[in-house]
Structure 1
């Protein structure tokens, strides 16, 4: 895993993002509106039946995970971790473009630079204008859905899908007041875990009343009154974006590298992501476990960073990153455990593996 990829998917954060189902993102307030009455089940069906896969829009990203602020550093490894944590903290403006299942572009707009993730068929590019670096990968031929793209999870629909998959008897489903997001009327679906073993207090999903497209996702930590994570459209168009947006050529002088990705079902990587990750348990308190040695270089870069000891705490068996919604445990023998659970739950999972 190259350092460019670490800026999007750091070794310690990837399983955390998988576990919580979100990449940190903002609260968009909207006025209540009148809509035809629906039951929670009908709104679930409305969201599940959405076929919108062509659109463009702007998202406002913010989060409050209780992570410490990290200083910038000239050290490459420290810079990678700092950049990764930056994506999970603070405020960000994100432009997204989607044209069908295999063309997408995500632009994270920073103060003086921009990060781009571009998919055009099987071509995948990551470009960072701050240091003029670009990484190219060829996606496996069986990657046929936008949600399978590495780094996906930048739209409310992608995030909502992960949470809606957790709607089981362990989830209470209700409706809050109708709302409006990006000028569109929406139902407010609320998912509340019926368990005290998760850090997630509730998840609110604004579902477009016309198309069923999720327009906003807000996640509150247990005991909190304000969202710890939120992702919402501030503008949205359902028109087809220009094809030019999905064509990318590295600028002159860019440092370009090639990234190999394993094919799904690869004999060496049966999980399809090359990490060998497994899931312990089900539902809201599930734990993602990544074996030692899954990416030795990425782990070495991570643990060598001076920031590693600043953002993690020493615990029995390793070091832990604790936030209001996600915990990550990196054991002394190099395994990674993550989930929307307390660190003690991760330690128990590590002891059983």
Structure 2
């Protein structure tokens, strides 16, 4: 196991996130904005008494300022997608987000990340001969993709809470949130050996699913010993010695970046699209970033072997017929399957899409079962 491997923390969903208008293709790797509390020390920290103490440290970390570089890569057993195919898919109105997610799941990425409080963040994804940016500077939110020379801009309402763009949210902190949300009573939580990540001493949490029907073997998180910030996350699939998903800081400075990194002016000749910022429903408190709406919390699928079902009406038109999807999918009875070492997607013949960190047989059985309200 690598010294920089790590674990995960409980998701705190944000109501009406400001980034919902951002094209997913613009940001294949992003950083969570609520992160730092104070300075950190290099070297291994003294071991805490219990895993619960480390979980509490993660849950209590607060938003401050930092800058750094992070990396993410995957080993899911999926074939590499040719760059031209991904570019064409990203330009498709029906497959842009899905192509961005496939790009995230089949390629490695490096990103420079900056934050100075809850209203100033920048994620600068460095691709080969290209750059993608997501920037918030006060009430201005921008994205830029140098490969398409396209810019989007939105003027945000004052007080709008910030959060990471989706679906490609694989910063250590954001990934930790999502995985801890999938944990709970069906997870054994233990402590691994203290470690050092990007020069910062860290505790190591180890999450092991109790469910036998999941493809996830274990998850590790390196938690910064002073601030509680997840510094690295590794997700291991059953039967694999190397992590199927790895996200980690390689450099991290716990101080405010130069203000100039948040300034953005569209490059000459770029196509600029103005987007309307999402409006919150009556009674929504934009400043709350620690709790999800009760209705979502009650209906969200939980557990390592959970199955998510997307009704046919909500699946993008022609999704299953896209060349990119056909390249990855294998025909089976009742539809087709996209399989990887860590997750499976079942494209039902009736248009539904089912997904989970479970074998294909589980999704096929769920698709054939009598209709329910949505997810297992």
Given the two structures, how large is their TM-score scaled by the length of structure 1?
A: 0.79
> In the alignment, is the contact (CA less than 8 A) between 1:221 and 1:227 conserved in 2?
yes
Per-residue deviation, 1:330: 2.6
Do the aligned partners of residues 69 and 279 (structure 1) sit closer, same or farther apart at CA in structure 2, a change above 3 Å counting? farther
Residue equivalent to 2:350: 333
Per-residue deviation, 1:295: 5.8
Residue equivalent to 2:66: 55
Where do residues 202-281 of structure 1 align in structure 2 (5 Å cutoff)? 202-260=218-276, 262-265=278-281, 281=301
> In the alignment, is the contact (CA less than 8 A) between 1:8 and 1:84 conserved in 2?
no
- Rounded to whole Å, the distance in 2 between the matches of 1:287 and 1:314 is 20
> In the alignment, is the contact (CA less than 8 A) between 1:152 and 1:158 conserved in 2?
no
- Rounded to whole Å, the distance in 1 between the matches of 2:258 and 2:43 is 33
Give ranges in structure 1 of 5+ residues lacking alignment.
11-30, 267-271
> In the alignment, is the contact (CA less than 8 A) between 1:118 and 1:126 conserved in 2?
yes
Give the aligned CA root-mean-square deviation in angstroms.
3.4
Higher mean C-alpha deviation, range 172-181 or range 330-339 = 330-339
Give ranges in structure 2 of 5+ residues lacking alignment.
1-19, 29-41, 283-291
Task: Say whether residues 1:45 and 2:56 are aligned partners.
Answer: yes
- Rounded to whole Å, the distance in 1 between the matches of 2:44 and 2:110 is 26
Task: Say whether residues 1:347 and 2:358 are aligned partners.
Answer: no
Do the aligned partners of residues 45 and 113 (structure 1) sit closer, same or farther apart at CA in structure 2, a change above 3 Å counting? same
Residue equivalent to 1:33: 44
> In the alignment, is the contact (CA less than 8 A) between 1:280 and 1:289 conserved in 2?
no
Per-residue deviation, 1:175: 0.8
Query: Counterpart of 2:71 in 1: which secondary structure?
Result: strand
- Rounded to whole Å, the distance in 1 between the matches of 2:84 and 2:250 is 33
Aligned residues: 323
Do the aligned partners of residues 336 and 8 (structure 1) sit closer, same or farther apart at CA in structure 2, a change above 3 Å counting? farther
- Rounded to whole Å, the distance in 2 between the matches of 1:308 and 1:165 is 28
Candidates 306, 316, 325, aligned match of 1:308: 325
Task: Say whether residues 1:169 and 2:185 are aligned partners.
Answer: yes
Query: Counterpart of 1:347 in 2: which secondary structure?
Result: helix
Higher mean C-alpha deviation, range 234-243 or range 171-180 = 234-243
Given the two structures, how large is their TM-score scaled by the length of structure 2?
A: 0.75
Query: Counterpart of 1:47 in 2: which secondary structure?
Result: helix
- Rounded to whole Å, the distance in 2 between the matches of 1:162 and 1:292 is 25
Do the aligned partners of residues 36 and 203 (structure 1) sit closer, same or farther apart at CA in structure 2, a change above 3 Å counting? closer
> In the alignment, is the contact (CA less than 8 A) between 2:72 and 2:170 conserved in 1?
no
Candidates 281, 284, 303, aligned match of 2:304: 284
- Rounded to whole Å, the distance in 2 between the matches of 1:330 and 1:32 is 48
Where do residues 196-207 of structure 1 align in structure 2 (5 Å cutoff)? 196-207=212-223
Task: Say whether residues 1:135 and 2:152 are aligned partners.
Answer: yes
Do the aligned partners of residues 281 and 151 (structure 1) sit closer, same or farther apart at CA in structure 2, a change above 3 Å counting? closer
Query: Counterpart of 1:173 in 2: which secondary structure?
Result: strand
CA deviations 1:103-135 (Å, max 9, x no partner) are 221111111011112223454322111121122
Do the aligned partners of residues 255 and 182 (structure 1) sit closer, same or farther apart at CA in structure 2, a change above 3 Å counting? same
Residue equivalent to 1:96: 113
Do the aligned partners of residues 82 and 248 (structure 1) sit closer, same or farther apart at CA in structure 2, a change above 3 Å counting? same
Per-residue deviation, 1:173: 0.5
Per-residue deviation, 1:256: 2.4
Higher mean C-alpha deviation, range 309-318 or range 115-124 = 115-124
> In the alignment, is the contact (CA less than 8 A) between 1:124 and 1:137 conserved in 2?
yes
CA deviations 1:46-92 (Å, max 9, x no partner) are 11111144211101221101111122337733765665422222322
Q: Which runs of 4+ in 1 moved over 6 A?
A: none
